[in-house]
Amino acid sequence: MFETLTQAPSDKILALMGEYAADQRSTKIDLGVGVYKDEKGVTPVMTSVRKAEERILSNEKTKTYLGIAGNKGFGAAVLDLIFEDGLDRSRVRIAQTPGGTGSLWVLMQLITRARPGASFYVSDPTWANHVPMAKQAGFDLKTYPYFDTETRGVKFDEMLATLNGLKAGDVVLLHGCCHNPTGANLTPAQWDQVADSLARTGALPFIDLAYLGFGDGIEADAYGTRKVIASVPEAVLAFSGSKNFGLYKERVGAAILVARNAAEADIANSQMLNVVRGAYSQPPDHGAEVIRTILTDAALRAEWETELTEMRNRMIYLREKLSAAIRERSNSTDFDFVSSHRGMFSLLGLTNEAVEKLKQENGVYMTGDSRINVAGLPEAKMGELADAILAVSR
Ligand code: PLP
């Protein structure tokens, strides 16, 4: 049987993690893997999460099945978090999923049932996993212009021109906030134009919201998602609780569909639940129950928001530190874009060769496209890092 298989492509980030672990230099710096790290380089369990877990452990009465859509209280709390009271819930259905990746997968399968082989547009570039997932679902994968390698901002006019040329039945994957890998994001005014365009063309927005609260705060980060979904008759949204609740390994996310009316929402939901039933039957509960517990308790929610703000502010602070260190040394504003980007990543715009040199000569690890995880920036060694980046970019 297995002799018919060929080697699958290896995951570049996992390979990079292995290389970093094997590097014996004590000065090495990990800007590769996409997890938040504190000043000690640790990805901590948030205190609000720890407290919720203690409550769950002492109060849980049963381990019985929850059902295909998972934890219902979690679903309601996530919709309140993302939309507050700004969306008519009769048109919305939500299924708890194993991680944001699980929700992307479930929603892709759902759309494939409605429109097999649809044109599926992703930003150029996008999160590496979007591409094989969309291909595997059988979509006709296309890109829309996004990152301007000169300005390191968004090529908005070109992006909008492509979106304006789409038609009903096409699907457009949008990063709700904190674009991965670039760190370049749309302004509220640009989101308004994207929403108008989608409303006019009838293309289906597929929003990936994996970093809510990591950019400029929950409200600011939800702006684009709220605007787009308020403007169109139908949309899907993949939510992840991995980063903003620090629940990476617990695998918690949600697949959300918005239909034209309640009757169509019910039918689409029956298909979405049918996809889940045939894949993993029901999602694991723990991470979802943690998020439900936090979001439905005023004190825990306030504590979580404080912790989220601390993570966000630390990333913004490190962005400013790196930009300033490079500015001081080079007398140029060429890397100021790092401080205006938002989220966990920035694409530095270095060549593959420069990235390799940083790794070999300085023990600085980032993905081959020169994406850095800003949470990994070393505050105490920012000067050395700035020197190394300048040396390879000259
Ligand atoms: N979408 C984007 C853009 C991401 O960067 C990630 C994680 O890195 C995910 C979705 C999925 O996250 P997870 O499956 O870990 O919840």
- Residue 56 falls inside a structural domain: no
Indicate which residue of 208, 285, 304, 375 is catalytic. 208
The pTM score is: 0.96
Q: Indicate the residue among 296, 323, 342 that finishes a domain.
A: 296
Q: Which domain holds residue 209?
A: 65-296
Instruction: CATH number of the domain at 15, please.
Output: 3.90.1150.10
Same domain? For 225 and 372 the reply is: no
Mutate to test the pocket of ligand 1, among 14, 123, 214, 242 (most ligand atoms within 8 A of CB): 242
- Residue 302 falls inside a structural domain: no
Mean residue pLDDT of the chain comes to 96
Position 225 scores a pLDDT of: 98
Model pLDDT for residues 277-319, shown as the tens digit of each residue: 999 999 999 999 999 999 999 999 999 999 999 999 999 999 9
Q: Indicate the residue among 248, 271, 296 that finishes a domain.
A: 296
Nearest to 117 by CA among 188, 169, 167: 169
Same domain? For 271 and 316 the reply is: no
* Start-end of H helices in the chain: 12-22, 47-59, 72-83, 99-114, 130-136, 156-164, 188-201, 218-231, 262-279, 286-295, 298-330, 337-340, 352-362, 382-393
Q: What is the DSSP string of 183-239?
A: -----HHHHHHHHHHHHHH-PEEEEEES-TTSSS-HHHHHHHHHHHHHH-S-EEEEE
Same domain? For 30 and 157 the reply is: no
Q: Kindly list the distances between the CA atom of residue 176 and the CA atoms of 93, 225, 300, in Å, as whole numbers in the listed order.
A: 19, 6, 25
Ligand 1 near 252 CB (within 6 A): no
Same domain? For 283 and 317 the reply is: no
Same domain? For 104 and 16 the reply is: no
* Beta-ladder partners of 140: 119
Model pLDDT for residues 28-85, shown as the tens digit of each residue: 999 998 899 999 999 999 999 999 999 999 999 999 999 999 999 999 999 999 999 8
pLDDT band at 218 (very low <50, low <70, confident <90, very high): very high
Model pLDDT for residues 336-362, shown as the tens digit of each residue: 999 999 999 999 999 999 999 999 999
Indicate which residue of 210, 288, 354, 375 is catalytic. 210
How far is the C-alpha of 255 from the C-alpha of 97, rounded, in Å?
7
- Residue 53 falls inside a structural domain: no
Position 281 scores a pLDDT of: 98
Same domain? For 31 and 173 the reply is: no
Mean pLDDT throughout 136-162? 97
Same domain? For 290 and 327 the reply is: no
Catalytic annotation present for 105: no
Which residue's C-alpha comes closest to atom 12 of ligand 1?
100
Q: Indicate the residue among 268, 296, 324 that finishes a domain.
A: 296
Give the pair of three-digit tokens for residue 36. 């938040």
Same domain? For 271 and 335 the reply is: no
Position 12 scores a pLDDT of: 82
How far is the C-alpha of 33 from the C-alpha of 115, rounded, in Å?
34
- Residue 305 falls inside a structural domain: no
How do beta strands 345-347 and 371-373 pair? Answer: antiparallel
- Residue 234 falls inside a structural domain: yes
Nearest to 138 by CA among 166, 163, 109, 167: 109
% of the chain exceeding 90 in pLDDT:
95
Residues 6+ apart with CB under 8 A from 353: none
Same domain? For 364 and 229 the reply is: no
CB-based contact 248:35 (threshold 8 Å): yes
Ligand 1 near 246 CB (within 6 A): no
Mutate to test the pocket of ligand 1, among 11, 33, 35, 101 (most ligand atoms within 8 A of CB): 101
Ligand 1 near 343 CB (within 6 A): no
Same domain? For 280 and 317 the reply is: no
pLDDT band at 205 (very low <50, low <70, confident <90, very high): very high
How far is the C-alpha of 255 from the C-alpha of 106, rounded, in Å?
7
How far is the C-alpha of 288 from the C-alpha of 65, rounded, in Å?
14
Instruction: CATH number of the domain at 176, please.
Output: 3.40.640.10
pLDDT band at 133 (very low <50, low <70, confident <90, very high): very high
* Beta-ladder partners of 144: 123
CA geometry: angle at 63 spanning 60 and 67, to 5°?
A: 115
Position 394 scores a pLDDT of: 78
Q: Is the pLDDT of residue 10 over 90?
A: no
Task: Tell me which amino acid residue 322 is.
Answer: L
Mean pLDDT throughout 106-120? 98
- Residue 32 falls inside a structural domain: yes
% of the chain exceeding 70 in pLDDT:
100
- Residue 35 falls inside a structural domain: yes
Q: 373 φ, ψ to 5°?
A: -90, 110
Same domain? For 31 and 111 the reply is: no
- Residue 147 falls inside a structural domain: yes
Catalytic annotation present for 134: no
Question: What's the total number of domains in the chain?
Answer: 2
Give the pair of three-digit tokens for residue 153. 């901002």
Same domain? For 120 and 169 the reply is: yes
Ligand 1 near 210 CB (within 6 A): yes
